[in-house]
């Protein structure tokens, strides 16, 4: 089970480019034992971006089929709201994509 966060700057969505994944990805990761998906999302977002969020709204539950690269399973996607350009640049985050924020 995994969780990820949507962080917005206007119409732009924060995506990460990591050294351990081949593609851009949402900040997030595995749910640890005893954590709720939201707790895991907030922890992973802070670990990966330095941005501290305290709440989120569940937007999607996704399922990824296991393959030779990933374990697979459920992934909970939470909308963590907006972030100012000053906050994201302070942590070295760059918002790269413009997407609709529709519900």
Which residues are CB-neighbours of 25 under 8 A, at least 6 positions away? 4, 15, 16, 17, 18
pTM: 0.79
Q: How confident is the model at residue 1 (pLDDT cuts 50, 70, 90)?
A: very high
Q: What is the CATH number of domain 2-83+90-98?
A: 3.90.79.10
Q: What is the DSSP string of 35-84?
A: --HHHHHHHHHHHHH-------EEEEEEEE---SS---EEEEEEEEEE--
Cα-Cα-Cα-Cα torsion 11, 75, 16, 44, nearest 10 degrees, comes to 110
Q: Please give the mean pLDDT across all residues of the chain.
A: 84
Q: Supply 77's token pair.
A: 């996607």
Task: Write down the domain spans for the chain.
Answer: 2-83+90-98
Instruction: Please tell me which residue, 39 or 64, carries the higher pLDDT value.
Output: 39
């Amino acid at each position: 089970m995994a969780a990820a966060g949507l962080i917005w700057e206007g119409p732009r969505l924060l995506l990460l480019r990591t050294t351990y994944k081949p593609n851009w990805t949402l900040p997030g990761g595995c749910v640890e034992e005893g954590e709720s998906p939201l707790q895991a999302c907030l922890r992973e977002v802070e670990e990966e971006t330095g941005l501290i969020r305290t709440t989120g709204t569940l937007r999607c539950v996704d399922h990824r089929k296991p393959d030779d690269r990933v374990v697979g399973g459920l992934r909970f996607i939470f909308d963590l709201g907006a972030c100012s350009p000053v906050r994201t640049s302070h942590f070295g985050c760059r918002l790269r994509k413009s997407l609709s924020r529709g519900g």
